[in-house]
Amino acid sequence: MVQSRMRGKAQLYVYAGIVVLFVLPLILPRFYIYLTSIILLTGLLATSLNLVLGYGGIFQFHHAVFYGVGAYATALMLTKSGLSPWLSFIVGPLVSGFLSFIMGLICIRLSKLYFGMLQISLGSLVWIIVYRWYSFTGGDDGIHGVPLPDIISSPNSAYYFTLIVTAACLFVTYKMIRSPFGSALQGIRDNPVRSEMIGINVKRHQLLALIIAGFFAGVAGSLFIVVDNTVFPDMLFWTLSLEVLIMCLLGGWFTFLGPMLGAAIIIMLRTFVSTYTTYWALVLGVLMMFVIFFLPNGVLGYIEEKIKKDFIEPVIKE
């Protein structure tokens, strides 16, 4: 009862948030629209990581690879193939999903930290290929001025495209988390041995989760092309993976919208603090320390706990 009432209220806030996001281009100057687009797609990236990290308990340490590969696949299709541009927005994520499947097959034999270590090395391998293969990927120059279909080439339309795709992807992810597959995945996170003993094929479920996460990271990558028109090798460097991981922890990795909030906080910090000092990462570091000490469940995790208390206490008194 209490939970459904809380969920109803949360839903209301989400709808209100979407409405606000829709009218934002009417109010805000162009720069902020660009910034919001970046926050949205990075939030999608973080949410896709959280599907395997927070809900699946898999230590996916090099998630940016799938983001970068999705972006590169989309950009290469757009610049070199001559096929319908819309097709590239589907192919990009599919390539990411496929890469995730291959890497997953290899890494899934290990668990926890060992999984993460192997993934970092395999991911770095992909990064070095992209970085060095000048003739195909443009090497460290990346690819600039990717041609887009007219309908999404203006900043505002790119924003709306990003908003709609992100919202749709989050909706689908949310559905998945609440499906039997999601329940099984959370069971595996909590207790893999017991999961096997109630008849769940743990590795196979984890592999599917990895593929889905890779796919959505690829979607975020293609959205970056829409917003920024460029790709560069840094998009799949491991420091970005770390940053995305921090977004999940900062926002709250056991909450659904936590990673989105984490993405917003980090990107805004980077944008606004870095105008005052080049040591913006120092501010992030101190902030992170406070979060770990005082909000171990992340910002949204803390808020959720608070709200739960406010909801449950009156009920108990009744």
Partner 1 sequence: MLEVKSLSKSFDGFKAVNNANLDVQKGEIVAVIGPNGAGKTTLFNLITGILKPDSGTVHFKGENITGFPPYEICRKRISRSFQIVNIFPRLTVFENVQVSILSREKRTWNLFTPSTKLAIDETNRILESVGLVQKKDRMTALLSHGDSKVLEIAMALGGNPEFLILDEPTAGMAPEETFRCIELVKRLSEELGLTILFCEHDMEIVFGIADRIMVMVRGATIVQGSCDEVRCNEAVQNAYLGGSDVCLM
Q: Which residues bind partner 1 (CB under 8 A)?
A: 3, 175-176, 178-184, 186-187, 189-191, 193-202, 205, 208, 254
Q: Which residue carries 């902030």 as its tokens?
A: 287
CB of 262 to partner 1, least distance (A): 20
CB of 166 to partner 1, least distance (A): 19
- Short-list 51, 33, 75, CA closest to 221: 75
Is 153 or 191 the residue whose CB approaches partner 1 more closely? 191
CB 44 within 8 A of CB 223: yes
- Short-list 100, 112, 106, CA closest to 219: 100
Is 34 or 181 the residue whose CB approaches partner 1 more closely? 181
**What is the spatial distance between Cα 157 and Cα 226, in angstroms, rounded to a whole number?**
9
CB of 216 to partner 1, least distance (A): 13
Is 139 or 187 the residue whose CB approaches partner 1 more closely? 187
CB of 61 to partner 1, least distance (A): 22
Is 200 or 242 the residue whose CB approaches partner 1 more closely? 200
CB of 190 to partner 1, least distance (A): 4
Q: What type of residue is 20?
A: V
Is 2 or 87 the residue whose CB approaches partner 1 more closely? 2
Measured in degrees and rounded to the nearest 5, phi and psi for residue 33 equal -65, -45
**What is the spatial distance between Cα 158 and Cα 48, in angstroms, rounded to a whole number?**
21
Q: Which residue carries 């996001």 as its tokens?
A: 21
CB of 253 to partner 1, least distance (A): 12
CB 220 within 8 A of CB 49: no
- Short-list 100, 90, 120, 8, CA closest to 48: 100
Is 2 or 105 the residue whose CB approaches partner 1 more closely? 2
Three-class DSSP category at 82: coil
CB of 208 to partner 1, least distance (A): 8
Is 201 or 274 the residue whose CB approaches partner 1 more closely? 201
Is 234 or 305 the residue whose CB approaches partner 1 more closely? 305
CB of 114 to partner 1, least distance (A): 20
CB-based contacts of 156, cutoff 8 Å, min separation 6: 25, 33
CB of 40 to partner 1, least distance (A): 23
Helix (H) or strand (E) holding 97: helix 85-107
- Short-list 77, 52, 84, CA closest to 221: 77
CB 101 within 8 A of CB 217: no
**What is the spatial distance between Cα 117 and Cα 133, in angstroms, rounded to a whole number?**
25
Is 9 or 194 the residue whose CB approaches partner 1 more closely? 194
Neighbours of 222 (CB within 10 A): 27
